[in-house]
């Protein structure tokens, strides 16, 4: 398992340019080929869904149990203490992009199937491990699979949390494009790579020909002193920013960079959005209304500031400003919303839009409905029972989460692991990790889960 994980981690399977047979880029296609080769060498039947997804199968029977995992990963980002694409084992933990999301869990499932094949287990049903190549960017891989391939009767995805996930919030990605502002002439800004990742770096560039640059360099012979001007200092303090958050470079203009801490978009409170810091500064320097609203979107209190607070049994509404760009006087903002099951996404978007000036353009890039199972559903209880028996944790109960998984893509599919309670795997962050001993436990849990679900469908 460790050797296989090492090979998969070495592939930088981040979304790339499409090519023939590789709709999500060369690296993602390479990861799929490796999966199919591995599975076939382990005696499993394999199939390739036009490069969108692949599958490995064991067993006989009319009905099929599904396992949905993914081979793609989010970009590495900054701040790693190890090479993100070299599997490293230190202090009892595996480090590398994908060890927890979702290459490590995928390998545990693959080896559970390998074990069943070696035992020639008579399951009374088929079990198919389906792997996609585009989960982190909309799951069009599984949408393609659903249109063209056989669907399982019941499924689980090892891309969530233990003990078992009974509900997932809705997920909406929205792009806001603000009207041109003359106050932003000669200014560019960039930060963030994915809506579902808290940005850990952002950079503001004030061109040397801009009016703002001339004003700043005339007023502040030592450019970093601008942070100490009363107006700027008050704005930064209001937004929880510190002087140490900013780095300055003078070369054909002024470049200001800020560092934050990445986190999964479903839990923005666990990160530190670098865009909040750079947008707060830009707002203070320009008095631009769009920059001010953008800085509020990046705030830890964004949900409250925009009046969109909501909560039900599936959890609280969250908002993450994942991407911001400024060019030619235009601000573009891409947010990730995690919505409780009872919340109407259109009403939330309308409330946010109303805070911007007239002329703001709104585009919904992705919309995934909530998923909710009754906690007493037989699929929920079957997997909860497996977890309890394998861990001895009989006090555990079904979860309700903000993270989105493949569970929404298939009927009768549910999140089952692979993160154990109270374990921080730094998913989507630098130094993504997974405990070695938990990695080995996964294979046993998924081995038993497969057997239990085969009984359920017989």
Give the mean pLDDT of 187-198.
94
pLDDT at 110: 98
Residue 414: φ, ψ to 5°: -145, 150
Please give the full DSSP string across 276-325, using - where no structure is assigned: HHHHHHHHHHH--HHHHHHHHHTSTTHHHHTT---EETTEE-EEEEEEEE
* 357: pLDDT strictly greater than 90: no
Average pLDDT of the chain is: 94
**Predicted TM-score (pTM) of this structure:** 0.74
* 165: pLDDT strictly greater than 80: yes
Give the mean pLDDT of 224-229.
83
pLDDT at 319: 97
Q: Which of 268-282, 378-392, 398-412 has the lowest average pLDDT?
A: 398-412
pLDDT at 291: 95
Residue 188: φ, ψ to 5°: -125, 155
CB atoms within 10 A of CB 7: 15
pLDDT at 405: 81
CA 238/CA 287 separation, integer angstroms: 15
SS3 state of residue 431: coil
CA 13/CA 32 separation, integer angstroms: 9
Tokens (6 digits) for 408: 């929404």
Q: What is each CA distance from 276 to 12, 108, 246, in whole angstroms?
A: 29, 38, 12
Q: What is the pLDDT of residues 45-87, one digit of tens each?
A: 999 999 999 999 999 999 999 999 999 999 998 899 999 999 9
Q: What is each CA distance from 129 to 45, 106, 139, 420, in whole angstroms?
A: 10, 8, 16, 21
Do 413 and 406 form a contact (C-beta atoms < 8 A)?
yes
Residue 415: φ, ψ to 5°: -80, 130
* 403: pLDDT strictly greater than 80: no
CA 249/CA 269 separation, integer angstroms: 30
pLDDT at 137: 86
Do 68 and 155 form a contact (C-beta atoms < 8 A)?
yes
Q: What is the pLDDT of residues 96-141, one digit of tens each?
A: 999 999 999 999 999 999 999 999 999 999 999 999 999 998 889 9
pLDDT at 294: 96
Phi-psi region of 375 (alpha: psi -120 to 50; beta: other; left: phi over 0): alpha
**Confidence band for 292, pLDDT divided at 50, 70 and 90:** very high
Q: What is the pLDDT of residues 428-442, one digit of tens each?
A: 889 999 999 999 999
Kindly report whether the peptide bond that precedes residue 418 is cis, defined as omega within 30 degrees of 0: yes
| Alpha-carbon Rg for the chain in angstroms | 24
- Among 70, 74, 86, which residue's Cα sits nearest to residue 32? 70
CB atoms within 10 A of CB 290: 26
pLDDT at 217: 87
pLDDT at 230: 85
Extended strands (E) in 140-245: 154-157, 160-161, 165-168, 170-177, 187-191, 201-207
CA 115/CA 118 separation, integer angstroms: 5
| Burial tier of 344 (Cβ tally within 10 Å: 0-12, 13-18, 19+) | exposed
* 159: pLDDT strictly greater than 90: yes
Q: At what angle do helices 103-119 and 26-41 cross, to 10 degrees?
A: 20
User: What is the four-CA torsion angle of 254, 255, 260, 264, rounded to 10 degrees?
Assistant: 130
* 404: pLDDT strictly greater than 80: no
DSSP single-letter state for residue 411:
T
pLDDT at 171: 92
- Among 62, 65, 59, 144, which residue's Cα sits nearest to residue 414? 65
pLDDT at 238: 87
pLDDT at 222: 83
**Confidence band for 227, pLDDT divided at 50, 70 and 90:** confident
Do 31 and 133 form a contact (C-beta atoms < 8 A)?
yes
* 375: pLDDT strictly greater than 90: yes
* 195: pLDDT strictly greater than 80: yes
CA 283/CA 285 separation, integer angstroms: 6
Catalogue all structural domains in the chain, each as residue range(s) with its CATH number.
Answer: 2-169+371-457 (3.40.630.10), 171-368 (no CATH)
Percent of the chain residues past pLDDT 90, beyond the cut:
82
């Amino acid at each position: 398992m460790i050797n296989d994980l090492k090979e998969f981690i070495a592939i930088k399977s981040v979304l790339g340019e499409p090519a023939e047979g590789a709709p999500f880029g060369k690296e993602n296609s390479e990861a799929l080929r490796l999966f199919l080769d591995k599975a076939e060498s382990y005696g499993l039947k394999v199939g390739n869904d036009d490069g969108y997804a692949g599958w490995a199968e064991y067993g006989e029977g009319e009905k099929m149990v599904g396992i949905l995992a993914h081979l793609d990963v989010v970009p590495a980002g900054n701040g790693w203490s190890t090479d993100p694409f070299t599997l490293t084992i230190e202090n009892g933990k595996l480090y590398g992009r994908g060890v927890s999301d979702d290459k490590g869990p995928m390998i545990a499932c693959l080896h559970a199937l390998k074990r069943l094949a070696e035992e020639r287990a008579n399951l009374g049903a088929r079990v198919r491990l389906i792997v996609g190549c585009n989960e982190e960017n909309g799951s069009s891989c599984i949408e393609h699979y659903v249109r063209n391939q056989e669907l399982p009767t019941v499924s689980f995805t090892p891309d969530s949390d233990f003990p078992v996930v009974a509900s997932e919030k809705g997920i909406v990605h929205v792009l806001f494009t603000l009207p041109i502002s003359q106050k932003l002439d000669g200014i560019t800004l960039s930060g963030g790579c994915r809506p579902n990742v808290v940005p850990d770096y952002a950079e503001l560039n004030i061109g040397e020909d801009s009016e703002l640059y001339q004003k700043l360099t005339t007023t502040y012979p030592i450019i970093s002193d601008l942070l100490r001007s009363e107006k700027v200092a008050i704005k930064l303090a209001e937004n929880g920013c510190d002087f140490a958050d900013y780095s300055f470079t003078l070369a054909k203009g002024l470049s200001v960079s800020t560092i934050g801490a990445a986190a999964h978009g479903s839990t923005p409170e666990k990160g530190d959005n670098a865009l909040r810091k750079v947008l707060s500064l830009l707002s203070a320097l320009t008095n631009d209304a769009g920059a001010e609203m953008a800085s509020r979107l990046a705030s830890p209190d964004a949900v409250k500031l925009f009046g969109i607070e909501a909560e039900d049994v599936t959890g609280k509404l969250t908002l993450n400003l994942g991407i911001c760009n400024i060019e030619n006087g235009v601000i573009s903002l891409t947010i990730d919303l995690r919505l409780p099951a009872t919340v109407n996404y259109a009403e939330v978007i309308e409330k946010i839009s109303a805070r911007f000036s007239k002329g703001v353009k709104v585009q919904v890039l992705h919309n995934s409905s909530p998923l909710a199972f009754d906690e007493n559903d037989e699929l929920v209880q079957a997997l909860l029972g497996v977890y309890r028996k394998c861990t001895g944790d009989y006090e555990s109960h079904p979860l309700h989460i903000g993270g989105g998984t493949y569970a929404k893509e298939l009927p009768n599919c549910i999140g089952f692991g692979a993160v154990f309670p109270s374990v921080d795997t730094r998913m989507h962050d630098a130094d993504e990790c997974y405990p070695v001993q938990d990695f080995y436990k996964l294979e046993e849990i998924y081995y038993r889960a497969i057997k239990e679900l085969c009984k359920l469908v017989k």
